[in-house]
Amino acid sequence: MPALPDVDKVIRIDMKFTISEDLGAKVRFFKRYAGTAPSNADLAEFATDVVELWSSSGLKAHTPSACSLTSVECTDLSSSTAAFGADTSVTAGTETDSPLSAADCLVVSHKVGRRFRGGHSRNYWFLGASNDTADRQTWSDAFVTAIQTDMDAFYGGINSEGWTSSGTIDSVAVSYYEGFTVFTGTTGRARNVSTPRVTPIIDTVLEHKVRKGIGSQRGRLLHLA
């Protein structure tokens, strides 16, 4: 599969988590900078800032103790040789109330001004415990309100960090694909293959909206049942 096209002045942030046996849980989002490109050292420090904000914003306190943030990786997508930096310190969540299923997630939608069909930018956070739910399908209003405050502090706090001459930093969503092509393999079975854009679309995120419904990431159950 060919490499995805470059995205000028955009940093991809990958937060990697361990959830009990699952060593590969991930939350990914994007930030855009207006100034000069960072160095590897700049992005390593930026990654450390993300770890610290995850702790100080209150998100760590709502993360079950069975879940640990194991690394934050920051990649400049401007070119294949642009900067990369990471913080690999391990930080466990401190929520000790009865955990939910590993598949249960808190969904944060990244709302943009452009209207389109298909999936929208969002994150699936492993947050909350049994005492944070209103019923089997929804989070309590108090929990949603508290997490919204924490999310605004987290995503907004990252915008206040940066490096020398980084300029303004803001949240964006990156659209790499538009439509699909039907591909038929040697077995005769057809499948849809997403069509990459020649130039990715960068949308400014207007709001990080915490959803009341409990989301699901069934892959985090590792198909053990």
Q: Could you read off the pLDDT of 100-129 as tens digits, one per residue?
A: 999 999 999 999 999 887 778 999 999 999
Each residue's pLDDT tens digit, 130-167: 999 999 999 999 999 999 999 999 999 999 999 999 99
pLDDT for 225 equals 63
CA of 172: how far to CAs of 113, 133, 206, in Å? 11, 30, 9
Cα–Cα distance for residue pair 145/181, rounded to 1 Å:
42
Cα–Cα distance for residue pair 34/145, rounded to 1 Å:
31
Domain ranges of the chain: 10-214
Single out the residue of 133, 49, 33, 117 nearest to residue 87, CA to CA. 49
**Tokens describing residue 15:** 């937060």
Q: How many CA atoms lie within 13 A of 80 on its CB side?
A: 4
- Kindly report the pTM of this predicted structure: 0.91
180 CB neighbour count, 10 Å cutoff: 12
Which residue carries 């069509």 as its tokens? 195
Q: What pLDDT band is residue 1 in, cutting at 50, 70 and 90?
A: low
The pair phi, psi for residue 148, each rounded to 5°, is -60, -45
User: How remote is the C-alpha of 92 from its chain's centroid?
Assistant: 18
